[in-house]
Amino acid sequence: MNFGVSYENRVSESPLLGLTISEKLKETVAKYPDSGALVAPYQNYRATYQEFWSEVEQVAKGILCYG
C-alpha cells in the first residue's frame, strides 16, 4: 500500500532519511514485529508493531474509501 510521498526538505545538521512515515514504519515492523509499539495506559491499549501496522492499514483504507 502506498500512502503517497511527502516529507520535509530543509537545512539541518542531521540528514533526512528520504523515506515517508509509512516506509519507515514498514521497516520497523519488519525488524521488530513483536516488540511493543504503542502503549496507552488510560485506554488499556497495547499494540506490537505488527498489530499497529495492521490498524494503520485499516484506517488508511477507510480514509481512501472516502476519496
Q: What are 15-64's pLDDT values in tens digits?
A: 777 888 889 999 999 999 999 999 999 999 999 999 999 999 999 999 99
Q: Which residues contact 6 (CB under 8 A, 6 or more apart)?
A: 20
- Structural domain range at position 38: 21-65
The answer as to whether 45 is a domain residue is yes
Q: Which residues contact 9 (CB under 8 A, 6 or more apart)?
A: 16
The answer as to whether 32 is a domain residue is yes
Query: Into how many domains does the chain fold?
Result: 1
The answer as to whether 39 is a domain residue is yes
Q: 0.75 cut: is pTM over it? A: no
Reading the block at residue 38, the C-alpha cell is 504503542
The answer as to whether 3 is a domain residue is no
The answer as to whether 33 is a domain residue is yes
The answer as to whether 10 is a domain residue is no
CA dist 10 and 61 (Å) reads 31
